[in-house]
Each structure stands twice: as C-alpha cells, then as structure tokens.
Structure 1
Amino acid sequence: MKKISKIESVLEQIQTPCYVCEEALLEENLKLLAYVGEQSGAKVLLALKGFAFKALAPLVSKYLKGCTCSGLHEAKFAKEYFGGEIHTYSPAFKQEDIDEVIEL
C-alpha cells in the first residue's frame, strides 16, 4: 500500500477548479523581486490578469509596488485589494469608464 503524503491527502479533498499556492515559495519569489527592484531602481508591479488572488493580496503588497490592469474593473480590484500604484492600459476605453480609470 502506497503511503500518501499530507499534501497529497489535502489535494485529494479540494474541489476543482481552484487555485493552490505554496505561500512560503511565493514569499521567497516576492523577496527576490523586491530585491531586484531595490537594486535596479525599477518598480516591480503585479500583472493582475495573471494573478488575481485576493487572499494573497496582503502578502504580495508587502513586496511589490502595485499592479498593472487591463481595464476599469481590474483597476478597481487592484485598488481595493492590493493598493500601491495602479497602471492601467487598454487599446481603447469606453467614454463612460475613462474618468473613473483616471481617478484610480
């Protein structure tokens, strides 16, 4: 009989779809990114479209300077959960959205 590790046991209980993240490894990577930013003078931003994981926002916000967003709703999400600088880019904005994007 094969012995099942604790993480395998936990993973078997998780319903999909879901996100699973090893916080200790994430924090190691965030520390490295913060170091690169400090040494280079660059502002390291989170690409929100690739990582909209609000439960980890406090951890990510400790190390990164803000978020990049592809529109109004991502920018609102970034402001609410991540803070810091919010950079928004889109090839076009709706007229009714642009004023709100500028305010964020």
Structure 2
Amino acid sequence: MNAFLWFLLPMTFMVFIFGIDSSNKLMRMQERIKSLERKRKGNKTKSQFLKEMIGKKPTIMSESIGTNNWLVNWLVVDVDEEWVKLSMTDKKGQTKTKLIRIEDIRSIELLEN
C-alpha cells in the first residue's frame, strides 16, 4: 500500500500540472484566434477603403518599406483582399510599381482639393 501511494501521489500531481498547462494553452489559442479574426476584419475594411482610392494618390504609411515608411504620390492601381498595387513615374520617366500587403499598411491619408 505504501509503495502504491508513492507512485499515485506524484502521478496525480503531474496530471494536475499538465491539466492546468493545457487549459492555459487553450485560452491563449482562443485569444490568438480572436485577434486574427479582428485583424482580418480590419484588413477587409482597409481593402474596401483602398478600392475607393483607385486612380488617386494617397499618402500611405507602411511597416514593410524599410527606413522610409511613407509612400507619397504613388497612384493606387489595383486592390484585392491582401495586396495593393501602387505605381509612380519618376523624373526620368521610368514607371515604378510596388505591391504592398494590406496588413502592413499603418495609415492612409488622402488630401482632396
């Protein structure tokens, strides 16, 4: 009986610890799913807003561009659920095109005259 208790007590303790750990993991996963759903809904809103700007030149602040986070005077050419296609003609007459993920866009500003 004594040997049985020495085996049963540690096993009960381990099951209890793993049970707590599993419930914490489940709660973190549920929070992550909610966060991703909110983010996806936000991307749809940005996508719809950017579709209204096709043919216009807004100022876009992005996280993916590098040190220069501002895109100024870029023409919005096309938009889908994940990407924005931007185009600009430089002083030499060369046309540059960029694709930016919508989730990387921090802010959009359009000055209308």
The structure carrying a bigger strand percent of its residues is: 2
Structure number with the higher helix fraction is 1
Q: TM-score, normalised by structure 1?
A: 0.29
Under a length normalisation based on structure 2, what TM-score does the superposition of the two structures give? 0.27
- Structure 1 or 2, whichever has the larger Rg, is 2
